[in-house]
């Protein structure tokens, strides 16, 4: 039975456990909890160089989720399409480097999910505030799909939708709490996924927001 998403975060106080949501997809419960303070400090440094922004999709829709990036490549969107860029289009400067702590967390998480050679070069950082959502989509802007995706959740709980290989496939609803890490790759790499509109009580540390850090191998 799926636990009540907004009832408690007590489960995350226990040691991280691996919960399968697909043949090669897992939620690592609470894995990031020991690293939250330095992760938030690193995020502050990233935002000082590459502030939040609301991207526009090729169809002209302004995303409800605010974004930024760190790493060698950063994901961006505008009326010309979705793509990765080496420079922040808002500043013309290179994206802030990927923090070593975050790189290690992503590598460790991938290894726990069975992907032992994951070396990300891009981290898309999303900020959800109440009502913000992410519609079902596939991550297809990377050069190849051999590497997994590692997604770190901080702040308010959310409902992660994890669907199939076709948009019409009914997605499972997976509750995610502060400190959870999701890894998917292999046969699950191109599954549709998204986030339902954020709702619930503010988080004790981060307030009325959820921060999601998604690490990928985007380049060659």
Reported as a single tens digit per residue, the pLDDT across 97-118 is: 999 999 999 999 999 999 999 9
Alpha-carbon gap, residue 162 to 173, rounded angstroms: 7
**pLDDT of residue 84 exceeding 90:** yes
Q: What is the pLDDT of residue 16?
A: 63
Cα(157)–Cα(180) distance, integer angstroms:
10
Q: What pLDDT sits at residue 11?
A: 38
Is residue 139 very low, low, confident or very high in pLDDT (cuts 50, 70, 90)?
very high
Which candidate, 18, 70, 37, places its Cα nearest to that of 183? 18
> What digits encode the pLDDT tens for the residues 4-15?
443 434 333 334
pLDDT, averaged across the chain: 93
- Residue pair 118/105 in contact (Cβ under 8 Å)? The answer is no
Going along the chain from its start, the domains and CATH numbers come out as 23-216 (2.60.120.590)
DSSP, res 143: S
CA 50 to CA 79: how far, in whole Å? 21
Q: Render pLDDT for 42-63 as a digit per residue (tens, 0 to 9).
A: 999 999 999 999 999 999 999 9
Helices marked H in 6-140: 36-49, 100-112
For 50, residues 6+ apart whose C-beta sits below 8 A from its C-beta are 68, 69, 70, 74, 88, 90, 91, 95, 96
The mean pLDDT value for 14-22 works out to 80
């Amino acid at each position: 039975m799926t636990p009540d998403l907004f009832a408690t975060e007590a489960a995350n106080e226990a040691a991280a456990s691996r919960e399968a949501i697909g043949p090669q997809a897992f939620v690592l419960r609470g894995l990031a909890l020991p690293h939250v303070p330095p992760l938030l400090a690193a995020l502050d440094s990233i935002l000082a160089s590459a502030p939040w922004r609301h991207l526009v999709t090729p169809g002209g829709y302004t995303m409800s989720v605010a974004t930024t990036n760190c790493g060698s490549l950063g994901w961006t969107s505008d009326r010309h399409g979705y793509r990765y860029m080496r420079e922040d289009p808002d500043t013309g400067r290179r994206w802030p480097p990927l923090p070593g702590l975050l790189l290690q967390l992503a590598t460790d998480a991938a290894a726990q999910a069975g992907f032992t050679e994951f070396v990300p070069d891009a981290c898309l950082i999303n900020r959800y505030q109440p009502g913000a959502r992410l519609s079902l989509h596939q991550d297809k802007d990377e050069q190849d799909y051999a590497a997994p995706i590692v997604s770190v959740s901080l702040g308010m709980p959310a409902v992660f939708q994890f669907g199939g290989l076709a948009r019409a496939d009914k997605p499972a609803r997976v509750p995610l709490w502060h400190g959870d890490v999701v890894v998917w790759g292999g046969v699950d790499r191109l599954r549709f996924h998204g986030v339902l509109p954020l709702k619930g009580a503010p988080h004790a540390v981060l307030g009325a927001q959820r921060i999601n850090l998604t690490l990928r191998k985007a380049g060659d």
